[in-house]
Amino acid sequence: MKRLIALFSLLLIHSLALAQGRGLPDFTELVEKQGAAVVNISTTQTIRGHGQAMPFPFDENDPAYDFFKRFMPRLPGEGAPREFQNKSLGSGFIISADGYILTNAHVVDSADEVTVRLTDKREFKARTIGADKRTDIALVKIEASGLPAVKMADPAQLKVGEWVVAIGSPFGFENSVTAGIVSAKGRALPQENYVPFIQTDVAINPGNSGGPLFNMRGEVVGINSQIYSRSGGFMGLSFAIPIDVAMEIQGQLRSTGKVSRGRIGVVIQEVSKELAESLGLSQPMGAVVNAVEPGGPAEKAGLEAGDVILRFDGKTVGSSSELPRMVASVRPGTRATVQVWRKGATQDIALTVGEMAEEKQAGGRTPRGSKTPEQAANRLGLVVSELSAEQKRELKLNAGLLIEEVRSVGARADLRPGDIVIAVISRGATTELRSVDQFNKLLARFEKGSNVTLLIRRGEMQTFVTIRNLSGD
C-alpha cells in the first residue's frame, strides 16, 4: 500500500511539473523572427544660448547626465553665444519594407537630426513625415529597401492576462527583450483623451518609448509609450498605444503630414451612480453634457446641457472617456446621429461633425454678489444670493444663484464660494434656480439620506455635482 501511495505521489509531481512546463512561454522564436524589425532611434537637438553653463557633476556616459543637462539652471551673465547638443534615445519599428518606421512623437519632438540604427549596425538619417502629440505617434522614413517589417495584430482580440513581449532600447541597450502580461485594456489616463491604452506589467524604461509590443504570435499589438512611476523608473505599470489607433494616425500622417479630427463642441463628464439616479437613468452610462459651445456643431443641432449622450454614430458610449475618441475618429464634415437621454426619454439628434482646432485656454471672471448679514445657510450648508440683472447679462445666464459661503455638506462636495448653482436635477427633471426661496423649497422636498445633483457654473466651465446622503433639516 505504501508503495502504491509513493508511486501515485511521484506521478502527481511529474504531472504537475509537465503542466507547469507547458504553461511557461518560450519567446526565443518570436525574438529571432521579429527582432530585426525593431530599430534604435537617436535624436539631436541644438540649443543656442548665451552665458556660461553651470558645470555638470556627471560624465556624459552617465545616465544621470541627460537629466541634469536638461533641468540644471544656467548661471546668469554675459558671454559669447554657445550651442548645446541635447541628445535622446528611443525605439521604433519598421512597418514597410521601403523604410517607414513608427515611433512616439515625444521621441522625435523638436529634433534637428534623427538617426535610425538597425540590428545589422547600419545607420540612416531619418526624415520625420509627421507627428501627432495628442496620440504620441510619429512616422519617420529612411531611404532603404528590402527591410524586415512587422505584422500587425487586431488589438480587439487581445485578452487581459495574455502574454506580451516588448523589444526596445532601454537606457540605450539595443534590442533588449522584456515580457509580461496584459493587465487591462481601454485605460483612460489623465490628459490623454484619444487613446484607449493597453496596460501591461512589461518592464519599460527610458529608451523603450516607441518600441513595439508583441503578442505571442509575433504580431504588434501596441506601441510602448509611457509608464506610471513615482521614482522615474519601472514600477509595474506600463502603457501602450493600440496598434489600430497608431496605424490610423500614420495613414493620415503619410498622406497629408497632419491629423484631422472631428469635434462637436461639448464639455462632458462621467455619469456617476448618483447622477444617473437624478437623471432617471437605469444605470450609469454615457457622457453627460455640462456645457455646449456657442455656435458649435452640438448647439446648432440642438444639444443641451444636461443631455446624456448614450450613442454616437451608431456606437454605444459606455463611459465619458470613450466619447472623445469616437468623435475624433469621424472625418470633419460627416453627418452623424447622436442619441441622448433628455427628460426621461431617448432622442436622436443629427449633427454635422466639425474639425478640431488648437485647444483654447478657458478664461472668465468670478462674479461678486451681496450677501446680507441675516442670510443663513440652507439645507446643503450653502449661503447663496440671487444674481443681479447685470451679472446675468455678463454671464449670459437666465437663472442661477451665487454661492457666497460654503459650510458642512457643501464643503464635502467641493463646492466653492463664487460658484453659481444653475439648476437642481432630480428624477430626470431639471429645475432652473431663480430665487433663494425657490431653492430652499426644492431642497425641503428631498428625503433624509437621498442624493441631490446640482448643475454648477465655475468660471467658463459647467459641471454636475452630486451631494450624497442628504441630512435632515
Q: Per residue in 17-66, pLDDT tens?
A: 444 445 679 999 999 999 999 999 999 877 665 444 444 444 454 544 45
In the prediction, which pLDDT does 12 show? 47
- In this predicted structure, the answer to whether residue 408 has a pLDDT above a threshold of 80 is no
Total residues found in the chain within this entry: 473
More confident residue, 87 or 109: 109
Check residue 316 and give its pLDDT: 93
Q: How far apart are CA 352 and CA 288, in angstroms?
A: 20
- pLDDT for residue 438: 86
Give the per-residue pLDDT at 382: 83
Residue whose C-alpha cell reads 472668465 in the numeric block: 364
Residue 448 has a pLDDT of: 76
Q: Predicted confidence band at 164 (pLDDT cuts at 50, 70, 90)? A: very high
What's the average model confidence in pLDDT over 178-182? Answer: 96
426 pLDDT band, cuts 50/70/90, is confident
pTM score, two decimals?
Answer: 0.66
**Structure confidence at residue 10 as a pLDDT band (50, 70, 90):** very low
Q: Do 204 and 236 contact (CB within 8 A), yes or no?
A: no
Residue 445: pLDDT above 50?
yes
Q: Which of 96, 98, 106, 313 is catalytic?
A: 106
pLDDT band at 405; cut points 50, 70, 90: confident
Residue 375: per-residue pLDDT: 58
Give catalytic status of residue 98 as yes or no. Answer: no
Confidence of residue 13 (pLDDT cuts 50, 70, 90): very low
- State mean pLDDT over 87-111: 92
* Nearest partner of 291 among 193, 414, 395, 412, judged by Cα: 395
Q: What is the pLDDT of residue 22?
A: 56
Tell me which range, 57-61, 133-137, 191-195, is most confidently predicted by mean pLDDT. Answer: 133-137
What is the average pLDDT score of the chain?
Answer: 81
Of 12-26, 29-43, 103-117, 348-362, the poorest mean pLDDT is in: 12-26
Residue 366 has pLDDT above 70, yes or no: no
| Catalytic pick among 42, 91, 132, 136 | 136
Assess contact for 234 and 262: CB atoms under 8 A. no
Band the pLDDT of 413: cuts 50, 70, 90. low
When pLDDT is averaged across residues 273-295 and rounded to a whole number, the result is 88
Place of cell 450648508: 381
Is 136 known to be catalytic?
Answer: yes
In the prediction, which pLDDT does 457 show?
Answer: 85
What is the signed CA dihedral for 313, 316, 320, 323, rounded to 10 degrees?
A: -20
Confidence label for 340 from pLDDT (cuts 50, 70 and 90): very high
Contact present, 208 and 241 (Cβ < 8 Å) = no
Nearest to 420 by CA among 466, 385, 373: 385
Catalytic residue among 88, 209, 225, 278: 209
Given pLDDT bands bounded at 50, 70 and 90, which one contains residue 89? confident
Lowest mean pLDDT among 67-71, 124-128, 208-212: 67-71
For the ranges 306-310, 391-395, 396-400, the maximum mean pLDDT occurs at: 306-310
209 is catalytic: yes
Using 50, 70 and 90 to split pLDDT, how confident is the model at 398? confident
Mean pLDDT, range 351-378, rounded to an integer: 56
pLDDT above 90: percentage of residues in the chain: 41
Task: Classify 352 in phi/psi space as left (phi over 0), alpha (psi -120 to 50) or beta.
Answer: beta
CB atoms within 10 A of CB 286: 28
257 pLDDT above the threshold of 80: yes
Residues 6+ apart with CB under 8 A from 364: 459, 460
Q: What is the pLDDT of residues 228-237, one digit of tens each?
A: 876 666 788 9
pLDDT, position 378: 80
Position 252 pLDDT exceeds 90:
yes
Q: What are the CA-CA distances from residue 11 to residues 20, 347, 449 (Å)?
A: 14, 65, 62
Asked if 129 and 253 touch (Cβ cutoff 8 Å), the reply is yes
Cell of 429: 427633471
Answer whether 316's CB lies under 8 Å from 326's CB: no
- The predicted structure's pLDDT at residue 209: 92
More reliable by pLDDT, 421 or 363: 421
Compute the Cα dihedral for 369, 374, 380, 381 and give only its sign: positive
- Spatial neighbors of 84 by CB under 8 A, at least 6 apart, are 46, 47, 48, 49, 53, 69
